[in-house]
Amino acid sequence: MRSAKADLRSGGKQNPKVAFGTELISAYGGLEWLRRFFAGKQLHAMIRDVFQHEPLGGDYPAASMVSVILALFFAGGRRIEHLKYLASDFMIRRLCALRRLPRPTTMARWLCRFTVARLGPLVELNRRVVYKSIEQAGLSRLIIDVDGTVVRTGQTVEWAKRGYNPHQRRHPSYYPLLAHIAQTSQILRVKNRPGNVHDSKGAVAFLRELVDDLRKRLPQVRQLVMRMDSAFFQGKIMNFLDARRIAYAIKVPFAPWLGLVGEIRARQRWSRLAKDMGCFELSLTIKAWERVVRVVIYRKRVHHKSPKNYQLDLFDPDDGYWEYSAVATNLDLTPKRLWDFMAGRGAQEKTYGDLKTEWAFDVVPTKRYGANSAWQQISVLGHNLLRWFQLSTGAAKKPRSSKRTFSYLFQSLRTVRFTLICQPVRQIRPRGRTHLRYAVAPATADTMRTLEKALASAA
């Protein structure tokens, strides 16, 4: 039935009088479902447990302070100063189990109590959340993408250095190293580093601690597979992977001492993979490492001279221009499946982008290195918790693909914030019992009813 045009228009020409009150009304009603999930998983008890041997002091316990930063991210805040805009919101206080939120200066002082040696509880907390997610998903094979990402800082931030910032080379930065689980889109480990280190700096120790702890605490994971870019194509890393019986696929740089350019020049026949794309494979002998590696070399036709092939100078004007790449692997995959598998690394960039835009991973809250590293750990914790929440409340499985990316249809924090978190709610007490009354769209109400049932069945 069509409505009359006059029924579609509404008044609103006059400016109503503005008044301020103290009613228990919140713009973040969807936090109730996250609070129930955290309570069911005993998140506060988990935080207290990891901090029991590393007390930080202060009036607020560590569980409350971590919860306040998480609530800040869920609400859309990015800086410590934004806490003052949430101080009167009763749903934020309800999530944190606090009657009064800490002031921004209190939070800054608490973060500054962290040093490099005192980050252990936050690292352990992230591990526990990710391990529980892996157990819940029933994964026996983990695909781990290892890479670094740039976090730009100010000029006077501790341990910030000029270095591997591809876009703003004159600016100091951090260069944290992350281990990303492809199936659950979670960050298993993050290690902050100064911006002037190579991508693979400290990678062997990083991987050793990660792998040893994972195999000790998750014996049901029978196979580990790692995907890395060319910065990690190093003898000591490959020796470690072989010693730990870890499958790998690593991009290979076209360094002169490897001799790949000569192999490409001498190649007459390429196996066809797709239109304007070919490959061949070889057993590459690396004398300096005393090892033989299976390498697959790919080329893809492009319609212009590309910066990616300037170092090869292999293009022929009569034959067009080509981009070249090479992958070393010990996986039993055909060249086509190996190409798709390595293309799946791109999914981690989506996770890193979500961390920076929604979880304030790229924010530098203080000038202290330890405090900024703790902020990164809590940012990653929020992301991991949201993925665990979605796994526990019925995230749909994705069809399996040869790229081996996310196994589930996850929503970003921006989407969750719009569809669930930022919903108006009012607290009322009929007959002395607390009720939350929502004024939401029918689609949102259906989502909340579904979540209520899922959380009740998961309890």
Q: Is the pTM of this model over 0.75?
A: yes
Q: What is the mean pLDDT of the chain?
A: 91
- Quick one: pLDDT at residue 17? 85
- Which span out of 44-48, 273-277, 319-323 was modeled with the highest average pLDDT? 44-48
- Quick one: pLDDT at residue 125? 98
Kindly give the interhelix angle for 120-137 and 369-392, rounded to the nearest 10 degrees.
20
pLDDT tier for residue 311 given thresholds of 50, 70 and 90: very low
**pLDDT tens profile 377-396:** 999 999 999 999 999 998 99
Local structure of 187: helix, strand or coil: strand
Distance from C-alpha of 196 to C-alpha of 5, rounded to nearest angstrom: 64
**pLDDT tens profile 328-360:** 999 999 999 999 999 999 999 999 999 999 999
Domains of the chain: 21-113+424-459 (no CATH), 117-250+332-358 (3.30.420)
- Reported as half-sphere exposure (CB side, CA atoms, 13 A), residue 335 has a value of 19
**pLDDT tens profile 273-309:** 988 899 999 999 999 999 999 999 999 988 766 555 4
Distance from C-alpha of 199 to C-alpha of 208, rounded to nearest angstrom: 16
pLDDT tier for residue 6 given thresholds of 50, 70 and 90: confident
pLDDT tier for residue 12 given thresholds of 50, 70 and 90: low
- Quick one: pLDDT at residue 19? 85
- Quick one: pLDDT at residue 1? 64
**pLDDT tens profile 129-188:** 999 999 999 999 999 999 999 999 988 999 999 876 666 677 899 999 999 999 999 999
Average pLDDT for 234-240: 95
- Quick one: pLDDT at residue 107? 97
Average pLDDT for 227-245: 95
**pLDDT tens profile 68-123:** 999 999 999 999 999 999 999 999 999 999 999 999 999 999 999 999 999 999 99
Distance from C-alpha of 141 to C-alpha of 405, rounded to nearest angstrom: 13
- Quick one: pLDDT at residue 16? 82
- φ, ψ dihedrals at 89, nearest 5°: -85, 120
141 sits in the region (left: phi over 0; alpha: psi -120 to 50; else beta) called beta
In 234-304, which ranges are continuous DSSP H helix?
A: 235-243, 260-266
- Quick one: pLDDT at residue 310? 42
Which pair of tokens denotes residue 345? 């690394």
Which pair of tokens denotes residue 323? 């981009």
What pairs with residue 325 in β-bridges?
298
Which pair of tokens denotes residue 82? 């934004």
Q: For the chain, how many helices (H) and strands (E)?
A: 15, 14
**pLDDT tens profile 251-270:** 999 999 999 989 998 998 99
- Specify the range with the lowest mean pLDDT, choosing from 62-66, 140-144, 199-203: 199-203
